[in-house]
């Protein structure tokens, strides 16, 4: 119960900042340097992977899709990304899998509050 309460209190501060961050990201996408936008999109990608696809917070949707490539949602993600860059998901997973393995090996995915 303490973890849920702490999570709720934290999210009341984080969610408004996330909305603001998204709006800034849209502005940056049109008017600012690409480097800043890239970092924001990468963070948003990881957020979507963790919240929508129940993946790891330190992994992109593309890498997660390649790990789960037998699942229907992953096949759709792979098909869509292949339209823009051939083997994108496979390359993303090759780049990110060592990070996933390290985090799991060190137990960093375990509960951190209380």
DSSP per position, the chain? -HHHHHHHHHHHHHHHHHHHHHHHHHHHHHHS-HHHHHHHHHHHHHHHHHHTS---TTS-HHHHHHHTTTSHHHHHHHHHHHHHSTTHHHHHHHHHHHHHHHHHHHTTTS----
More confident residue, 112 or 105: 105
pLDDT of residue 97: 95
**pLDDT tens track for 41-96:** 899 999 999 999 999 999 999 999 999 999 999 999 999 999 999 999 999 999 99
For the chain, percent of residues with pLDDT exceeding 90: 53
What is the predicted pLDDT for the residue at 114? Answer: 64
- Note the pLDDT of residue 10: 78
pLDDT of 105 > 90? The answer is yes
């Amino acid at each position: 119960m303490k973890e849920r309460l702490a999570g709720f209190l934290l999210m009341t501060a984080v969610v408004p900042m996330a909305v603001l961050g998204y709006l800034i990201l849209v502005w940056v996408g049109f008017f600012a340097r690409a480097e800043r936008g890239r970092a924001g999109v990468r963070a948003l990608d990881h957020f979507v992977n963790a919240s929508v696809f129940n993946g790891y917070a330190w992994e992109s949707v593309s890498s997660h899709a390649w790990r789960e490539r037998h699942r229907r949602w992953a096949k759709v993600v792979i098909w869509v990304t292949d339209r823009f860059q051939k083997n994108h998901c496979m390359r993303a997973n090759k780049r990110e899998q060592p990070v996933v393995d390290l985090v799991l090996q060190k137990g960093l995915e375990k509960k951190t509050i209380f």
